[in-house]
Amino acid sequence: MSISYKSIENKLFFLLGLFTSMALLQIPIGTISVSPFNAIMYIIFVFELLKGKLAVPDTNGVIYFVYLICITISTVINSSFVPSNWNTANFIAVFNLWILGFLLIFVNKNILRSVKIFFINGLKLNTWIQLTWGILQFIIYKVSGQSLNEIFFEDTLHLQLSYPTSNIYYGINRLTGLNWEPAYFGLTLIIGYLLSNKLWKKLLFIVGVVLSASRTSLLTLIAVIIVQEIYKLVKFKEKKKTYFQKQEVMTTFTILLVIIVGIILNFQEIINTFLSTAMRFQNLDLDPSSRVHSFYYQVLGNILFSKFSLAQLLFGIGPASSGYAYTLWYDLYPYLISNAWNIENGLADIIVGSGVLGTVLVYWWFINNLRIGKDNKVAFALIIGILVGAITYSYFVNWIWVVVMFISLPLKHQDDYVQFKERLKDE
């Protein structure tokens, strides 16, 4: 039985959506490891290149292309400034971003529109796998005090994971799902929340975000919900449909009612986690993580205008080396000097790593997608949420660019949109 090129293409983009945020999974290749997401990106790159149906870049493509030029210049001019291990990390990051750029810049938009449904379906499955895995993490830790990821990947499959697999912080078991950081796990569940149509599914994703105990995720979720509600009110005024208002009021009332009932029924662990996370907002000066994240901003101006050369001010010191500046000049985490790392702060990371020019281009790209997806409440809320979350955590990772592109991407015809909506409806 022959398999068509189109069928292969559809499956590749489904798998790309499926593995978007599963950074805990790594494929060993020689002395390095590659995430399934990046591996599939490499395959798609070769597949689309062989097809030869490339397109002239649109505005988004041009913005991203110039950004790639900037980080390439940054990596080259800083090759003698950063140590060899950081230099290698910069070149690997640039390579992966160029491969990603091929998809964002040169792949024909008609092709991307045709595979959007497959990518979104894979992404939806990803969010449910992550949610299920996170809940299992929660249950197993409460029953046995053990990490599910360590039990499954290390003890059972005898795999050496690249990242820590449990995250206990001040006595709170912070869920990570199939990732290494609660903030990425929480962001994945927020995407699942946005892609779900039924109330009970949205509530499950909200519970998962709360259990992640990530303040950034909670801030992002709040921003997403507020933006969606404002979006609905604006659209309601435009459409003047009273039944729409009643439906939204009932939905909001139901969400609040379920939360109140949950408190009354004493969902102790969920409530304790929520309260503990909320208390971390109140005690920012006492929290080590908060102090470090605040420190990133406190010395940022000094780095840019006192430590950096003019070239570094414009282009940064490399997309994988923002941590080097803080280690070199402020002795932050000196024991990590032999390991390339980025600071966990989206805005400061982009400014230090990619410079002022790179930062302008990154935000321009996301804001331009906001314009493209202005008639899509999911895209609109997601992008605003990411920009809010990036103030406190590094949300500008590879898979986020692809998710934003596909969710914002308009379909070619209205009939396509109707069909797309029907196929996305929950069973």
Buried b (16+ CB within 10 A) or exposed e, 42-73: eebbeebeeeeeeeeeeebbebbbebbebbbb
Higher pLDDT, 275 or 398: 398
Backbone angles phi, psi at 396, to 5 degrees: -90, 55
Sort residue 355 into left (φ over 0), alpha (ψ -120 to 50) or beta.
Answer: left
Residue 50 has pLDDT above 80, yes or no: yes
Instruction: Name the pTM for this structure.
Output: 0.83
* Overall average pLDDT of the 140-160 stretch: 77
% residues pLDDT > 90 (the chain): 35
Lowest mean pLDDT among 24-28, 92-96, 392-396: 24-28
Task: Report whether pLDDT(236) > 70.
Answer: no
C-alpha dihedral (73, 348, 369, 108), degrees to nearest 10 = 30
pLDDT of residue 425: 53
List the one residue out of 189, 180, 181 whose CA is nearest residue 210: 189
71 within 8 A of 354, measured Cβ to Cβ: yes
Whether pLDDT at 170 is above 50: no
Indicate if the pLDDT at residue 52 is higher than 80: no
pLDDT at 237 over 80: no
- Best-predicted range by mean pLDDT (265-274, 276-285, 323-332): 323-332
Q: Helix 84-105 and helix 398-408: axis angle, to 10°?
A: 10
What proportion of the chain, given as a percentage, has pLDDT over 70? Answer: 78
pLDDT attached to residue 426: 47
Gap between the Cα atoms of 270 and 278, Å rounded = 12
Structure tokens belonging to residue 152: 């499954």
| Confidence category of residue 54, pLDDT binned at 50, 70, 90 | confident
Residue 3 has a pLDDT of: 65
Give tens-digit pLDDT for 306-343: 999 999 999 999 999 888 999 989 888 877 777 788 88
CA-based nearest residue to 219, from 22, 391, 404: 391
Of the listed ranges 29-33, 180-184, 297-301, the least confidently predicted one is 29-33
**Digit-coded pLDDT (tens) for 64-85:** 999 999 999 999 999 999 998 8
**Residue of 102, 117, 124, 105 lying closest to 21 (CA atoms):** 124
Residue 103 scores a pLDDT above 80 = yes
Summarised one tens digit per residue, pLDDT across range 353-376 is 999 999 999 999 999 998 887 788
Would you list the domain boundaries of the chain? 112-282
Least confident of 86-100, 104-118, 203-217, 350-364: 203-217
What is the residue-averaged pLDDT of the chain? 80
For the chain, give the longest Cα–Cα distance.
65
